[in-house]
Structure 1
Amino acid sequence: MRFDAKEYLESKLSDIRKVLRPEESDKVLAACSGGVDSTVSAVLVARALGRPIRAVYIDDGLRRKGEPERVLSVLNELGLSAFIYDAKKDVLEALKGKIDAEEKRKAFRDAFYTVLGRIIREIGAEYLVQGTIAADIVETVGGIKTQHNVLEELGIADKYGFKLIEPIKDLYKPQVRILARELGLPAEICDRKPFPGPGLAIRIVGEVTWEKLELLRRVTEMVEEETSDIESFQSFAVLLDMKATGIRDGKRVYGYIVALRIVSSEDAMRAKFVEVPHGRLRRISTRIVSEVPEVSRVLYDITDKPPATIEFE
């Protein structure tokens, strides 16, 4: 069935106005990552109220290089009253010692929303706007993996002290992108590749440490630069929880293993690995091991979803 973005937009604006009045705009806080889902959600609510709303970017230490500053600039350009909140200590402490992927996702969720609850109390807000979409709910409720932003369906929405507004929870990613264009959002938002809520924490297999995060940030920047012209749904690096022997300057080294993951997909429910030419893979591998001496080996993941998931954790 064809998605009518104009009709959906009019209906959704009407729905939001039934829940919130314009004079309540100062009681609203949007959690924004800079991705299309959270940005569309925040802009929808602001558009419905006819007034700017506050938007917070949680700097949890799990983002890509320079991302907090870039996102803040974009959100303010869209007319939101955006600010950054430093939660690195809270989140990294919550992840400390966690090895299992589900434990990490749940620890991140609890720390993330505890921080948001604190911010909401500090600024006197009552409502939290977030960009939960249908795929998040399907995977969480189905027990595949916990998406950090699914609260209501698990019966824990009241735990953190705010009321949830999730305007696009019935949409899948392709529909969200169409709606973003209907809202007039810039291409850098509409076409932005998905980046997971728990960020680099779920692209580090095993325990998350600041050393590993800094290393993966460097590798991620290289992979995104080297694959920017490859048509894909997502393209990223994963730091594995093992090391391998290598040779550098004629001497033995024992370095990290990095896996590359490049997939095509429509809605994240199914995905196929992209058959990248060997010459390109060789170039990426050579650059990583040359510029990041802590890495001794680079692998390429050729598994579809299913049986794998897109993210490793």
Structure 2
Amino acid sequence: VTRTFYKKVFRNLGLKSKARFFLQGTILTDIDETVAGVKRQHNILSQVGIDPQKEYGYKVLEPLKTLRKDGVREVAGALGLPPEITRRIPFPGPALAARIVGEVTEERLAVVRAATAVVEEELKDTGAFQYLAVLLSDRATGIVEGKREFGQIIVVRCLDSVDARTATPVDLPWETLHRICRRITAIPGVNRCLYDLTPKPPATIEYI
């Protein structure tokens, strides 16, 4: 993801637009987790020995890298940004490509995009720190019109957190979970919907 995102996509865009700088919202938790070896965040470059200027042709600016998520929200509020911006859920830079385990294709992107729309619509009023849908690489046996099908698997996450260093799963009502499951398994090719109750740690919020 890092190589595709920075070296191919943004390098080409930078060359076309003659941009010399790339502004991104790296926060301190991203750096801490990458340096400690917890996970490799897609947006960590210089901290792991990558020189963006040399490798990709542009300089990366990270004005938020000394703050955690709660600090970023405080700054945004102090600057007068509305709650729909300051309180919105985090979203990875590589977008839905970071929500697919395994090969990223247009077909698989369409599946996770549809599942994400369901999750965001159903959980937008929960006040949770983060909620997302992930498409796994495995497939599961299912039944479609009386015949066996090896369908795709979507995992739903909904978590509360302050600074993204730790997170606890939200106990969603059964009615909500059943509704999400019905809607997601109605997506063509998907026959399994799971709700991930793992806190951080031992898990991370995202799958990739």
Match of 1:152 among 46, 56, 75: 46
- Gaps of at least 5 residues in structure 1 are 1-107
Aligned to 2:5: 112
Q: CA deviation at 1:137?
A: 0.6
| Distance in 2 between residues matched to 1:257 and 1:136, nearest whole Å | 27
Match of 1:299 among 188, 194, 199: 194
- Gaps of at least 5 residues in structure 2 are none
Q: CA deviation at 1:180?
A: 0.8
- Structure 1 residues 88-142: Cα deviation after superposition (integer angstroms, max 9, x where no partner): xxxxxxxxxxxxxxxxxxxx22232224344434444433322211011111111
Q: CA deviation at 1:294?
A: 1.0
| Distance in 2 between residues matched to 1:195 and 1:228, nearest whole Å | 14
| Distance in 1 between residues matched to 2:113 and 2:50, nearest whole Å | 32
Q: CA deviation at 1:224?
A: 0.9
AA aligned opposite 2:140: A
**DSSP 3-state at the match of 2:185:** helix
| Distance in 1 between residues matched to 2:146 and 2:11, nearest whole Å | 54
- Structure 1 residues 32-91: Cα deviation after superposition (integer angstroms, max 9, x where no partner): xxxxxxxxxxxxxxxxxxxxxxxxxxxxxxxxxxxxxxxxxxxxxxxxxxxxxxxxxxxx
Match of 2:74 among 151, 166, 178: 178
Alignment of 1:252-267 (within 5 A): 252-267=148-163
| Distance in 1 between residues matched to 2:36 and 2:190, nearest whole Å | 36
**DSSP 3-state at the match of 2:125:** coil
| Bigger Cα Rg | 1
Aligned-residue identity in percent: 50
Relative to its length, the structure with more helix (as a share) is 1
Answering whether residue 27 of structure 2 is matched by residue 143 of structure 1, we say no
Aligned to 2:122: 226
Q: TM-score with structure 1 length normalisation?
A: 0.61
Q: CA deviation at 1:165?
A: 2.4
Q: Evaluate the alpha carbon distance shift between residue 128 and residue 289 of structure 1 in structure 2; reply closer, same or farther with a 3 A threshold.
A: closer
Match of 1:271 among 136, 152, 167: 167
What's the C-alpha RMSD, in Å, of the aligned pairs?
Answer: 1.8
**DSSP 3-state at the match of 1:232:** coil
Alignment of 1:1-313 (within 5 A): 108-114=1-7, 115-157=9-51, 158=53, 159-290=55-186, 292-313=187-208
Q: CA deviation at 1:311?
A: 0.9
| Distance in 1 between residues matched to 2:38 and 2:12, nearest whole Å | 30
**DSSP 3-state at the match of 1:244:** strand
AA aligned opposite 2:23: V
Q: TM-score with structure 2 length normalisation?
A: 0.90
Aligned to 1:85: none
AA aligned opposite 1:302: L
